């Protein structure tokens, strides 16, 4: 997918489907972790941050207090892209030591973003464990990384792209396949 213009092939999640997926992931997180104690979320810029905030807000509704949410810029930890000379936008104002850290991203594809995020979290301290939540799993892993929580599995070809749109950035919520 060089610089070719991609066209929308299909809408795979609308606003309601995204809301249900976030709710389902939230309940699965509570069930697996036996509540929200010692949980914190770290969203990968940019859409992973907003998904993390939505999950934390849902847990706040269900548990009475929302877990901490941090924002992670993984650019400096990537092994497959040029490093940015720009500013590091990471904002994690809490200690991850002995916490159950849930890294949140919009789409998992090769697994390289998740690996970079794990490296970044480990540099901040040793969490009790690290879990991974994604809105869309499109397959094609290059690393042995599997998300713990998935909103939707979407088999795609390598020539297709999955685009997550969110109100906070794109003015509407939906997930589309582009070709």
Q: Over 70: is that where the pLDDT of 109 sits? A: yes
Q: What are phi and psi of 134, to 5 degrees?
A: -135, 150
Instruction: Please state whether 31 falls in left (phi above 0), alpha (psi between -120 and 50) or beta.
Output: alpha
* Residues 65, 11: Cα–Cα separation, whole Å: 34
Neighbours of 92 (CB within 10 A): 17
Q: Over 90: is that where the pLDDT of 25 sits? A: yes
Q: Over 90: is that where the pLDDT of 151 sits? A: yes
Residues 61-90 have a mean pLDDT of 87
* Residues 163, 177: Cα–Cα separation, whole Å: 6
Residues whose CB is less than 8 angstroms from the CB of residue 34 and which lie 6 or more positions away in sequence, other chains included: none
Q: What is the pLDDT of residues 156-168, one digit of tens each?
A: 999 999 999 999 9
Q: Pick the closest to residue 76 from 39, 43, 45, 102 (CA basis).
A: 45
pLDDT grade, residue 3 (50/70/90)?
low
């Amino acid at each position: 997918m060089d610089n070719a213009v991609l066209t929308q092939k299909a809408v795979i999640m609308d606003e309601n489907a995204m809301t249900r997926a976030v709710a389902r992931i939230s309940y699965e997180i509570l069930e697996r972790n036996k509540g929200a104690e010692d949980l914190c979320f770290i969203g990968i810029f940019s859409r992973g941050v907003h998904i993390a905030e939505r999950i934390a807000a849902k847990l706040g509704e269900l548990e009475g207090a929302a877990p901490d949410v941090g924002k992670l810029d993984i650019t400096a930890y990537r092994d497959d892209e040029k490093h940015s000379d720009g500013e590091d936008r990471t904002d994690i104002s809490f200690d991850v030591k002995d916490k159950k850290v849930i890294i949140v991203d919009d789409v998992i594809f090769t697994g390289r973003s998740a690996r970079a995020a794990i490296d970044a979290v480990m540099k901040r301290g040793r969490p009790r464990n690290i879990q991974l939540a994604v809105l869309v799993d499109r397959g094609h892993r290059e690393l042995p990384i599997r998300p713990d929580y998935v909103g939707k599995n979407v088999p795609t070809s390598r020539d297709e792209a999955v685009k997550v749109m969110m109100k906070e950035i794109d003015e509407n919520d939906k997930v589309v396949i582009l070709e």
